[in-house]
Amino acid sequence: MAKYEKEVKELLEYVGGKENIASLMHCVTRLRFVLKDESKVDIKKIEALPTVKGTFTQAGQFQVIIGNQVSEFYKEFAEYAGIQAVSKEEVKQAAKQNQNLAQRAVSNLAEIFAPLIPAIIVGGLLLGFRSVIGDIYMLNDGTATLKDVYPWCQGLYDFLWLICEAALHFLPIGVVWSITKKMKGTEILGIVTGVTLVSPQLINAYQVATAENIPIYDLGIFQIERIGYQSQIIPAILVGFTLVYLERFFRKITPQSIQMIVVPFGALVPTVFLAHAVLGPIGWQLGEWISQGVAWGFQSSVGWLFGGLYGLFYPVLVITGLHHTMLAIDLQLCADPVINGTYMWPILVLCNIAQGSACLGYILMNRKNEKDKQVAVPAVISAYLGVTEPAIFGINLKYIYPFIGGMLGSGIGGLFSMFFVCKASSVGVGGIPGILSMKIESIPMFAIAMVIALVLPVLFTMILSKTKLNKFGKA
């Protein structure tokens, strides 16, 4: 007898039977169904199964939280239901059939940035570490940094810039590559095109504002400024999609026998020309308008209110998947040579911590609930390290009041953060380690904001558990 035989049979029945399953895969802890009709799902019966820790729907997928034993459960389920294994990409494509146009656009943007996140996080962390070495005057009565006193620290400071520059300044290469990969274009053309945006031939984007003379390419009838787009996101996105669609066009009209020559030439050369003559300047301007608009809101006399509202509602963005779009704005703020940092990422850090603390508050009030403890304990740790989905979908949204407690805590934390204008040098880990990404002058007050995000959601969750909100949960 199979270990999960009874539950497998019941789960198949409760999701509407095999005929209701368009595709299925699993990740580290969850079964991820793409269903033809979600109205046929009996969520209450599914969540009553002993092995199931919770359910939620996101990005067109109905997800069932199983835990670390998910691979074994999946194998038994797939064998019993007669479902063939499919790739993650196939599941995503099937899930998009359940999404509207706006949801698909957000999903595509998220999928473009998802492969870049590990490099961005490492770059942000190392940038913060470099600040500790080279920007904090902690020695010789506050007149010298570590690199001023110790030669090996200067060497380490310079060496770490190799990684930071590659991950953050040369980010347009990754963006264009990721677009070509996502859109099934030729990836090496994406890499080459990305390199042309940050080539050493071009003046560095961070030096444009102070440069006395900007060099040009003199092409006779017109000239193109030799400006680089280091760290610029929007120009890279425009260029990436232009490359993909030009490649598709030339591949469609070119005979198979000469595609190897015509397609790369026809896609690459016009794209690079347009990148520097048209798309780059347009993207730069759009990026400036966005970053300056966001900065105006956060730097205004009511910036503290913006911070509070962003902290309050950011967890809602996580539910919808719209939070992925915020990364592009964060990176654009960091790339702006005037703003040179982001106000939004610190608040994201606080939101992640707050949802973890709200989950902690719930489990402190429900110590005897062994089933929820199996979800909550690792979810709290995960949230404190920057991944909130297990806490939000596994516990907080399931019982409602912990989610609201987390929102209130992060709202107050965001208000506090913006009242003292806390700013990060770059994005990094969205949890407690996020303090390493902060500007040196922001660290003391942001540390207090982190304490607020750690403590208040626990208290709010405990208080709300005594109110009528406790009756809205699915327990």
Q: Express each pLDDT in 108-162 by its tens digit.
A: 676 787 788 788 878 877 887 887 888 777 788 778 888 888 999 999 999 999 9
pLDDT for 291: 78
Residue-wise pLDDT for 316-336, tens only, equals: 887 766 676 677 788 888 877
Read off the pLDDT of each residue in 79-88 and give the average, rounded to a whole number: 71
Max CA pair span of the chain? 80
Quick one: tokens of 100? Answer: 């509207």
At position 105, the amino acid (one-letter code) is A
Indicate the length of the chain as a whole number.
475
pTM score: 0.69
Residue carrying structure tokens 């503290």: 304
Mean pLDDT for all residues in the chain: 85
- Bridge pairing between strands 30-35 and 54-58: unpaired
17: left (phi over 0), alpha (psi -120 to 50) or beta: left
Question: What's the pLDDT score for residue 297?
Answer: 83
| pLDDT, tens only, 406-437 | 999 999 999 999 999 899 988 877 788 888 88
Tokens of 44: 């209450």
Where are the alpha helices (H) located in 50-170, listed in sequence order?
A: 70-81, 88-95, 101-113, 117-134, 146-149, 151-164
Summarize pLDDT for 456-470 with one digit per residue, the tens. 999 999 999 888 877
**Active-site hit among 27, 164, 334, 351:** 27
Q: Which of 22-26, 51-55, 226-230, 390-394 has the highest mean pLDDT?
A: 226-230
The gap from C-alpha 437 to its chain's centroid, in whole angstroms, comes to 15
Structural domains in the chain, CATH included, are: 5-99 (3.30.1360.60), 113-291 (no CATH), 300-472 (no CATH)
More confident of the two residues 261 and 295: 261
- What SS3 state is found at 16? coil
CA distance 461 to 475: 16
Which residues have C-beta within 8 Å of that of residue 313, sequence separation ≥ 6? 407
**In whole angstroms, what is the distance from residue 197 CA to residue 216 CA?**
15
pLDDT at 27 over 60: yes
- Rounded Cα distance between 36 and 97, Å, is 9
Residue whose pair of structure tokens reads 């996080």 in the numeric block: 121
Residue type at 9 in one-letter notation: K
pLDDT at 454: 96
What is the rounded CA–CA span in Å between residue 175 and residue 235? 10
Q: What mean pLDDT is predicted for residues 300-316?
A: 88
pLDDT in tens, 334-357: 877 778 888 888 999 999 999 999
Taking a C-beta distance cutoff of 8 angstroms, is the pair 436, 125 a contact? Answer: yes
The proportion of the chain whose per-residue pLDDT surpasses 70, expressed as a percent, equals: 91
The answer to whether residue 475 scores a pLDDT higher than 50 is: no
State yes or no: is 27 an active-site residue: yes
**Dist. CA 219–CA 133, nearest whole Å:** 46
DSSP output for 17-76: -GGGEEEEEE-SSEEEEEES-GGG--HHHHHTSTT--EEEEETTEEEEE--TTHHHHHHH
Query: Which of these, 260, 253, 232, 245, lies nearest to 180 by C-alpha position?
Result: 245
What's residue 70's pLDDT?
83
Percent of the chain at pLDDT above 90? 31
